[in-house]
Structure formats: structure tokens, C-alpha cells
Amino acid sequence: EAGVVQSPRYKIIEKKQPVAFWCNPISGHNTLYWYRQNLGQGPELLIRYENEEAVDDSQLPKDRFSAERLKGVDSTLKIQPAELGDSAVYLCASSLAGTYGEQYFGPGTRLTVT
Amino acid sequence: GQQLNQSPQSMFIQEGEDVSMNCTSSSIFNTWLWYKQEPGEGPVLLIALYKAGELTSNGRLTAQFGITRKDSFLNISASIPSDVGIYFCAGVGGTSYGKLTFGQGTILTVHP
């Protein structure tokens, strides 16, 4: 069974540029999460989707971050414009509906903003 | 918000030694999990614990869900070089319903 797929794996951009990350969850997983992981820290949740609905986006900086999951499968996270402090690894995870504990992570996208 | 305190921050051990790390919280969690993360990869789920007092093994790994529901520990027996990585505890529940709250991680180095 294929795991969570993310692309790109690495991205280097200049500040004020836009950037987008894509995630395809494990087949059949209704719940999708985006996390941000700063160097030397554990991941922190940005947004959680149940199918197409964003049910927890309290940690998403909405002035510059947006996300969508239009058909309840794959998802895109966007930053516009990027700031130096956005440099981090952006992780996507998925789980079966109601099993919030057993989340399976993708390899992440390492973003560097210069 | 809820925070998890994970210790130790790092460990340097010889191959064959046993390892123990733990995680504590000021809040109650309904689920405790342990993940391992290797460079350039996302965290991989090792063990999930769902009941206070539960003791669960996965090969050489053993984890326990504390009776108070505010702590958990992970033991690795007879460590091998491929155990190298960062181990994270994570909790679900309380005020963090539907999301994982992660500890800061324990960096494990195993010398052959």
C-alpha cells in the first residue's frame, strides 16, 4: 500500500515569493493534516481536514497561509508571500476517520526562504 | 496550550545497550504514541497506547501509558545502529482533540 506522498521534497525561494506544497494521503484515509516542523522541534499542526472540510485551522496563519482539499482526497498548502521565518519542513499526514492517534506521515517538504 | 516534556534530549549509547526515554505532561491525554524520525523523512509510528496502564511491545521496543494518563515511557532493548534517529512522544486528547501534540524529541546515537 502506498504511503502519504508529498511534493516537492525540497523548495528554495526568495522571501515574498509564493510557494505551494501538494499532498496525496493514503487511500481511504478521510482525515488529512498539515504540520510544520521547525528545526530541532516536534511537528505542530497547521490544519486538519475531515474529507473536504477544514475542521481545525486555528493554528494556520491565515494572513499568508491557505489550504484546500477540494475533492476530499489530495490537498494543497500555499504560502503567499513567504517570509524568512517560514523556513521549515512541512509535513502532511493522514488517518482513518476517528483514529486521530494513528497518523501516518509523508516525507515532508523542506522549505528554505532566502 | 498543552505541552509535552520529553527527556532526555539526547543519548549516546553503545550498541547492545538498553535505552529508556520518557514523556510527561501537565494535562491528561487519552492516547499516547511514539514516533521515530530519520533524517529527511517524516515521523514513523512505532507504538500507539490507548488505555492507562497499557504496556505494549513492538519487537525490541516497549512502551507504557502511565496510570495518571500524564506520562509515557519508551524502552529499546539491545540497541543496534539502525535505531539511530529522533524519537518523539505524542499525545491526543484533552484540549488537543483531533490533533497530535508532540514532545521535543530525543536524539539517539548508537555507537557500533
The per-residue pLDDT for range B7-50, each reduced to its tens digit, is: 999 999 999 999 999 999 998 999 999 999 999 999 999 999 99
Per the CB < 8 Å rule, is A101 touching B50? yes
**Partner residue opposite A101 with nearest CB, options B43, B48, B102:** B48
Looking at residue A102, what is its pLDDT? 85
A95-104 burial, b at 16+ Cβ within 10 Å, e below that, comes to beeeebbbbb
Per the CB < 8 Å rule, is A101 touching B92? yes
Counts of helices then strands in chain A (DSSP H, E): 0, 11
The string of pLDDT tens digits covering residues A60-95 is 999 999 999 988 899 999 999 999 999 999 999 999
CB A82 within 8 A of CB A21: no
**Partner residue opposite B99 with nearest CB, options A4, A40, A56:** A56
Element (H, E) at A68: strand A65-68
Query: Given CB atoms, is B54 within the 8 Å cutoff of chain A?
Result: no
